[in-house]
Structure 1
């Protein structure tokens, strides 16, 4: 069977519907109980056959290209190296990323690109890597990368890298307000430790969110949303709290910092409600406001009709 010369993979941003954080372990990582949801804000990564490994980038208006490395520090590049190491060979390819997920925004854009690179290079080189091995390699790359492969809605435990699909009967509509100024995830966790020196080693469970997902009712989910990193993120960036208050005053069912921030997401009742809220936030002076639905598929090959 011949292998393709070009493979395009689409990978979605994630938001955390529940992010329960436990006290830091001896290895410095915090145990998490989280519920991920993949939403319709995506990066596309195209792998072209080439004699060496390279990375190129094009970005949406709301993404600062200067903040995205295009060398060995990029997670997609590291994904290529680890996948090659797994197969005992050096993988090549010209990776072109069309980036719409904000950088350092709490939306796991780098993780999405890494997952896309794993799938694209596996197909480009006809490697036939098993799903289990892809997930294991993904976990080496970062806590959010396994979910970026899986997509949908999933429960994450450990550092977030152990993922399991959960029942989700709803179609959920979100308004996202990204920030051009990223927020360091390690800094937010350090601030969590400062604010919660006596945190329980066991993170809070996600039962309220899991129950709400089974109802498909936006109001039920709005009441259940939780992010233990929201307070430290707002303490570091008070304008995030102001934004949440504004969005809720404009009719959002609930506003929430996404992951470690600084992107803020608002849950809405419907697509029309989301569009109305987005318009209201644009009129208040926010330069970029996005509408996305969830849950959507994980990293998947985009068919070519050329």
Structure 2
């Protein structure tokens, strides 16, 4: 079909995620590992604006734009093209991405942008699709993309793409330590996890989320959630990037009630009880911890959301 949407634009805000738990099971025949994870979105946001155009293109700006591809390898651009092919949309689009989520930091920044592109293009092209209807395309793009369509807190299984919501009331306060050096490659971290397990003679069991964490999330008691944090990739990330051990030790010494490497790293998430504690920990880490970009955030937050829609001949219409 052909849609007359020239000069329209849609902006979507999308958060990054951390994994409160990441249990890595055996390697599957398709090259992925069987996973059980508990996803949790936090208030660090990218902004993706999609406008109708004669040719496909992507532009990237913002604090963490360095290293993000602007050609065919850009995951948001792949998402937009995939959606267009699936629903017969003939027009191309320009994607403008404002990056704040760390790149190769274990917070799913590329997946977040892909989710945002799907939501923005769905709105731009007036396809009338639900988030659930976007999920099959999202799953083809990456394991984390379906979750970032929704946000909040959820259990992921399979390779992470099968979702079940978690009953979680209230909010958690986080301090994020973000490496200012190069990130870690997710495949490299998984490979290191496999190597360390083989060297230790450890056989991966079928993964499942822990009852302790799910119970703690029902009340969002900081100490209980902090004690239940788990990441099977953490030792592998620390092996490849030893400074992470110093960061984890520094935050724990300074009073964090929980500490975990996010996903495949190298971002480290520290859990504290209040905003005041988050400020204190941020100051302490800046003073004594290894150098890094230190941010404060709360979670959970909503997934990809349209925040601005520009009509063809009218002013900005704010939709959320």
TM-score (norm 2): 0.91
Report what 1:126 is aligned to. Answer: 126
1:103-182 to structure 2, matched below 5 A, reads 103-180=103-180, 181-182=182-183
Alignment of 1:88-107 (within 5 A): 88-107=88-107
Contact map agreement 1:80 1:91 (CA 8 A) in 2: no
What's 2:280 paired with?
A: 276
Match of 1:33 in 2: 36
2:22 paired with 1:8: no
Say if 2:34 and 2:159, in contact at 8 Å, map to a contact too. Answer: yes
The Cα shift of 1:2 comes to 8.5
- Once the 2 structures are TM-superposed, how far is the Cα of residue 204 of structure 1 from its aligned partner? 3.9
Q: Distance in 1 between matches of 2:284 and 2:205?
A: 41
Q: Secondary structure at the match of 2:118?
A: helix
The superposition leaves residues 78-107 of structure 1 with CA deviations (integer Å, 9 ceiling, x where unpaired) of 001110111123441111111000100000
Q: Counterparts of 1:75 and 1:91 in 2: how far apart (Å)? A: 19
How far does residue 163 in structure 1 lie from its aligned partner after superposition? 1.1
- Measure the CA separation in 2 of the matches of 1:112 and 1:29: 20
**Residue in structure 1 matching 2:229, options 225, 238, 242:** 225
Q: Give runs of aligned pairs for residues 47-58 of structure 1, distance below 5 A.
A: 47-58=50-61
Deviates more, 1:190-199 or 1:133-142: 190-199
Higher strand share: 2
Which 4+ stretches in 1 moved above 2 angstroms? Answer: 1-4, 88-91, 129-133, 197-201, 284-287, 303-306
For residue 270 of structure 2, give the secondary structure of its aligned residue in structure 1.
strand
- For the pair 1:184 / 2:185, whether they are aligned, the reply is yes
CA RMSD in angstroms comes to: 1.7
Alignment partner, residue 252 of structure 1? 256
Unmatched 5+ stretches in structure 2:
310-314
SS across alignment from 1:203 = coil
Pairs aligned (count): 303
Deviation of 1:201 (Å): 4.0
The aligned counterpart of 1:289 is: 294
With normalisation by structure 1, the TM-score equals 0.95
Post-superposition CA distance 1:19-49 (Å, at most 9, x none): 0010111221100000000100010001122
2:270 aligned partner: 266
